[in-house]
Amino acid sequence: MSGSFKVAAVQAAPAFLNLDAGIDKAVGLIEQAAAQGVKLIAFPETWLPGYPWWIWLDAPAVTMAYVIPYNLNSVERGSAQDKRLAKAARDNDIQVVMGLSERHNGTLYISQWHYGADGEIISRRRKLKPTHVERTVFGEGDGSDMVVKPTDLGRVGALCCWEHLQPLNKYAMYSQNEQIHIGSWPSFSLYKGGAYALGPELNTAASQMYAAEGQCFVLAACATVSQDMFDMLCDTPMKQQFLTTGGGFARIFGPDGSPMGNVLDEHEDGLVIAEIDLNMISIAKAAADPCGHYSRPDVFRLMFNQKPSPVVMSFENDAARDIAEAAEEQLSVMQQAAAE
């Protein structure tokens, strides 16, 4: 797309464990952004139905009471809630990247669903590797989730939270000529004063460095913890020390790493909005393109398997057939070697 346009990163508390109320709030924020001329809006990690903070506050056995409500309020593809998000994108002529807990059969996934301004799905990706105790709740994505998609606004990709601390993740995304990157984060309000790596300074820097390394615009959406969420989750003095309200640090960065747009107080719900121009990327790329003129493929290369990895594949599936043929060829070579 030529010329400049507006983008927005959401900073807001979710309607915690209430999916339909969360959709209502999401539609309101989409409408609010569109009314200000925004063409692309990004939401935080698992904003629907909220990030499962209890996994950081107590033992898994103690927090099992959250399993059923979290499953029931997670989103399924093709559901009424999915269709409402698509309709909101279409009605407001805006691209929407929603961070959500996706339910598929018996497993949940940390997902980002990208709706086009026409309401059609551009991509549905899953977090490649849930972080630390997130693995007690969520399953894993695969190489097909590491994707950058062409859109009317430019080439758009997305990652969640500490996927931004995985160097190979980032390089795989940069190599696809990403122009606009969506970084979906939960709030930075956990273990304050006790775990610097989980705080706003380091994680905001990760978003900023992603912009500078990849020479792309970064929309870092970030949720907040509301007082209602705090009261529900922190029912003991110990838990009240682990989690605080607020923690919203939504930001937008340019391809040189420069901050853009307005800044909200960490307890404030709202939108960080900036006007971006993709032509600015060429200036940043002229200085350093890590997957182009600033690379050394004779020294370093990344092996990147982008194929889906389903647990069951029909033999009519091309990937399954390729695997079977490769296995047969390897067996033939081994038999020939043994005969000799």
Q: Give the span between the Cα atoms of 125 and 120, in whole angstroms.
A: 15
Q: Give the span between the Cα atoms of 314 and 155, in whole angstroms.
A: 32
pLDDT at 325: 72
CA angle 137, 139, 140 (to 5 degrees): 140
pLDDT at 320: 66
CA dihedral 44, 47, 48, 52 (to 10 degrees): 130
Q: Give the span between the Cα atoms of 71 and 66, in whole angstroms.
A: 8
For residues 100 and 48, is the Cβ–Cβ distance under 8 A? yes
pTM, entire model: 0.92
pLDDT at 331: 72
Q: For residue 139, give the H/E element and its range.
A: none
Catalytic residue positions?
Answer: 45, 127, 161
Q: Give the span between the Cα atoms of 317 and 329, in whole angstroms.
A: 18
Q: What is the mean pLDDT of each run of 10 residues along the chain (340 residues)?
A: 88 98 98 98 98 97 96 98 98 98 97 98 98 97 97 98 98 98 98 96 98 98 98 96 98 98 98 98 96 96 92 72 72 71
Q: Where are the beta strands (DSSP E) in 144-292?
A: 148-151, 154-160, 180-185, 217-222, 251-253, 259-260, 270-277
Segment 42-95, tens digit of pLDDT: 999 999 999 999 999 999 999 999 999 999 999 999 999 999 999 999 999 999
Q: What are phi and psi of 13, to 5 degrees?
A: -75, 140
pLDDT at 3: 83
pLDDT at 2: 59
pLDDT at 314: 74
